[in-house]
Structures are given as C-alpha cells and as structure tokens.
Amino acid sequence: MKQEKRKKWRETHITPPIKHGSQASGDSFLQGVKDCVPTLLSYWSIGFAAGVVGKTAGLSIAEIALMSLLIYAGSAQFIFAGMIAANGSAAAILLTIFIVNLRHLLLSAALSPYFRHLSPLKNMFIGSLLTDETFGVAMNHLTQKNPIGEKWMFGLNIAAYFNWMIATLLGAVLGQWITNPEKFGLDFALTAMFIGLLVLQIASRQKIAKDMAVALSAVVFVVGASFVTSGSAAVIAATVIAAAIGMVLEKWK
Amino acid sequence: MVLSRMNIPAWAMRWLNNVPVAVMAALVGQELLLSDGKFSLLEDNTKILAALPTFLVALFTRSLLGTVVTGIISMLLLRLVYS
C-alpha cells in the first residue's frame, strides 16, 4: 500500500538527476557561491535595514550580531525588533516568529526530495541555512534541469549567510546615529516587509483568486478574533482558519 | 529534515500550502487595523495611508527592498505632513 503511494507521489513530481558526490563544473562549492551573487543585493539591503531597525529599537550591537548568527531569518529579526519596541511579551514574540517561519518548513519540504539520499545531519545543515532567496535560486536551477548537489547548496548557503551577517552588522553600526526612529518612519519597516512578502507570495503562485480569498478571510478573522482575545492569539486563530478555508477551496475547485 | 522521511496526508499538505498567505495576511491585517489588540480603523489611519503606496510598489516592482523603502519613506512623509 505504501509502495503505491510513494510511486504515485514520485510520478507527480519532477525529479531531475541528483549528483552523488561527484563534482562536475556546474556543481561545485564555488559555483554555488557564484550563483548566490544575484541575490546578494537583496541580502545586503534587507540585512542592512534589519540592522538599523534592530539598533533603533534598542538592541545592542552584540545582540544584533547574535540574532543574525543564530536566528538568521530576516522576517524573524524584524518582528523581534518591532515587538521589543512595542514592549511585546516574550511568549507573543516567540509565537509570532514561529508562525511566520513555519513557511520555512514548507520550503524545506519542497527541496527535501532532492536531498533525500543524504544523511539527516547534512539535511539539517542544508535546512537550517535555507532562506527565501536561496530557495528561489535552487528552484530556478532545478526548473532549468540543472542538477543540484550538496556542495553547490553549501556554497549557496554559506555565501548568503556570510553576507547577511555583515550587512546586519553594518546596519546596526549605522543605526547608532539615529536617535528618533519614528521620525524617519522606520517603525513602519516591519509592516512594509509583511506587505511586500504577502504581495510577492500571492504574485508568485498561480492561484491568485483563491489566495485573495484566503488573505481576505485572514484579515476578517484577525479583526474579529481581536474582539475576543489578544492580538497575537488573533493572528494565530486567523491563520489557522484562513488556511483551512484555502484548503477547502482547493478541494472544491 | 523530518518531513523528508514522513508521508503527510494530502489535506494537511493543502492546509500547509495555504499557511504562508494566511499568516502574512493576518499579520498585515493586525498591523494596519489593530492597535493594542483592538480595532482602531477610525483613530489612526496613517498606517493605512502609508500602506497604499507600499502595496502598489510591491505589486509593480516585486522588489522587497523597494517595498520596504517605499513604506519607510511614505511613513516619513505622512508624519511630516501631519505634524
């Protein structure tokens, strides 16, 4: 029974050839680094902004560096800074970050078939360094029928990680000189990023009508739930319900 | 890591697939419409006004950086005008 399920799953997914440790010229660590270059600009800019926002929210440079090192997720770092500035509770911060980063789970899941042959430890390294951008580059490569090997992925990931660290540090250093963040509208940076991510996600998926329905219901529910419970709980409740609505809509189409 | 070895039921995959859009929309809704956890559309609408150009830039340029910068600048200008 399980065999049939697996076969069916494989047939519905394209599986380009997977390199098993050999290093063709298009597949090496350095090539991975090179392929990361187009996305570096976005890392630099968002990283820099994250550093500035973090600093103006009151975090020390050491704390910002630690966040970039350990958390390594732009959206999480922005959320952290924003909620600290608004004196959010620790539990609320953790919960919100967790939900937003849930999408990382999905990205990892999408890439995992191509790395299934590796040990769990290697998969963990690949997964923990995954970002929206590296995911985009990897997917792009796959759709052009290029195989992706683990060394290439490491090159990609490490280049991204390194640049992110430097960018946030620079931003934090610069942020020291900005004393009144609200004056510069910097407190809106987090919201702007959410808006950007929302639009980008809907735009890159094929099912715009359904996504709009999901988005709309999420907004309706978040407002409705806020009458009954706290803001963060409202976000979670709205997400669960709206995602469920999307799930049902997909089944009916 | 875990998922690569699990077989997830179809309905759960569909639900997971919708979570990114749902959570982003919920967060945007919360940021724009709620303040201190309550519906506050009528009091402070600078955020919504700043959100309009931000949305447009996101839609047309597909650039995250452009979106964030637009948002910041819009907020900056709105605050200047209001005060």
Residue ranges of the domains in chain A?
A: 27-187, 205-253
Q: Tell me, what's the pLDDT at A22?
A: 41
d(CA B27, CA A201): 14
Give the number of other CB atoms < 10 A from CB of residue A90: 9
Contact A60, A47 (CB under 8 A): no
Per-residue pLDDT tens over the stretch A29-84: 777 677 666 666 666 666 666 666 666 555 555 565 555 555 555 555 555 665 55
- Report CB contact under 8 Å: B4, A185: no
Distances in whole angstroms, Cα of residue A70 to Cα of each of A66, A101, A173, B54: 6, 14, 19, 30
Q: Which residues are bridge partners to B35 per DSSP?
A: B38
What is the band of A167 on the pLDDT scale with cuts at 50, 70, 90?
A: confident
From B18, B26, B54, residue closest to A195, measured CB to CB? B54
Mean pLDDT (chain A) is: 64
Looking at the partner chain, which of B22, B67, B76 has a beta carbon nearest the beta carbon of A195?
Answer: B67
**pLDDT of chain B along its 83 residues, tens only?**
444 445 666 777 777 777 777 777 887 887 787 765 555 665 567 778 888 888 888 888 877 777 777 888 888 888 777 76
Task: Identify which has the larger pLDDT, A86 or A211.
Answer: A211
Residues shown for chain A? 253
CB < 8 Å to B70, chain A = 192
Would you call B35 helix, strand, or coil by DSSP?
Answer: strand
Q: Report CA Rg, chain A.
A: 20
CA distance A138 to A160: 13
